[in-house]
Copies of this chain bind each other. A is one copy, B any other.
Amino acid sequence: MPMDSSTTAGAADRGAANARTRILDAAEALFADRGYEASSTARIAGRAQVPKGLVFHYFPQKIDVLVTLVDERTFVEELREQPVEAVPGDPAGTLSRLARRLPLHASPAMRRILFREADTHRSVRERLGRLNGEVFLRARRALELALPGARGDQARLEVAAATFTAVLIYQENLSSLTGQHVDPDAVADLIARALGA
């Protein structure tokens, strides 16, 4: 944060982060707050404290800002690289741990953007689908490892994984949109009971 010395020193270096980052930061905040359509490029530039024209220097079209945001600030790859940890015999604890490890937790703003814009932008929808799929696969794998005896058939396990995934991913949106709070740990416990002894 103190002086980004990787760039050549110059008068234009005022402000903490470089222009491109500031633009993305501003866009992230605005898209989360009011939606993509309602956030003008001028406003993004204003909030980023860069001239209007510069936005188009880095991102030829407005939609590229959204696409870049989703590409660079949604950690699907990081998620995939993380090992699945499971405690055999404790499916509830295993799911809870999975929930807590999700890098998803990092940016509430990105999650709002992801859900809101998935509805109308294919590339965002694809990203959300991959994210969901990744979490689903890990939940299923975790449950398989936690229940070595393979109690309950495969179909039920999938339903359990899908339900947990939905609650996990939508969690925050759910509570901000409907006012209904759902505790992932409690759901993990519920699911464990359904699959358990």
A67 within 8 A of partner (CB):
no
Judge whether B37 and A159 touch: CB under 8 Å: no
Judge whether B35 and A119 touch: CB under 8 Å: yes
Which residues on B sit within 8 Å (CB–CB) of A179?
A: 129, 132-133
Interface centre among A35, A38, A118, A174 (most CB of B within 10 A): A35
A128 within 8 A of partner (CB):
yes
Nearest to A165 among chain B residues (CB) is: B180
Contact with B along A59-74 (1 / 0, CB 8 A): 0000000000000000
Q: Give the distance to chain B from A157, nearest Cβ to Cβ, in Å.
A: 10
Contact with B along A174-197 (1 / 0, CB 8 A): 101111111100110111011100
Judge whether B180 and A166 touch: CB under 8 Å: yes
Nearest to A159 among chain B residues (CB) is: B186
Copies per complex of this chain: 4
Which residues on B sit within 8 Å (CB–CB) of A96?
A: none
Q: Give the distance to chain B from A118, nearest Cβ to Cβ, in Å.
A: 5
Which residues on B sit within 8 Å (CB–CB) of A136?
A: 180
Q: What are 18 sample pairs from A and B whose C-beta atoms fall under 8 A apart?
A: A35-B37, A38-B120, A115-B177, A116-B119, A128-B178, A129-B177, A129-B178, A155-B186, A156-B189, A159-B186, A159-B190, A162-B180, A163-B182, A165-B180, A166-B166, A166-B174, A169-B178, A193-B195
A residues at B contact (CB < 8 Å): 34-35, 37-38, 112, 115-116, 118-120, 125, 128-129, 131-133, 136, 155-156, 159-160, 162-163, 165-167, 169-170, 174, 176-183, 186-187, 189-191, 193-195
Given contacts A129-B177, A163-B167, 7 further A-B contacts (CB under 8 A): A115-B119, A119-B176, A128-B177, A166-B167, A166-B170, A170-B170, A193-B195
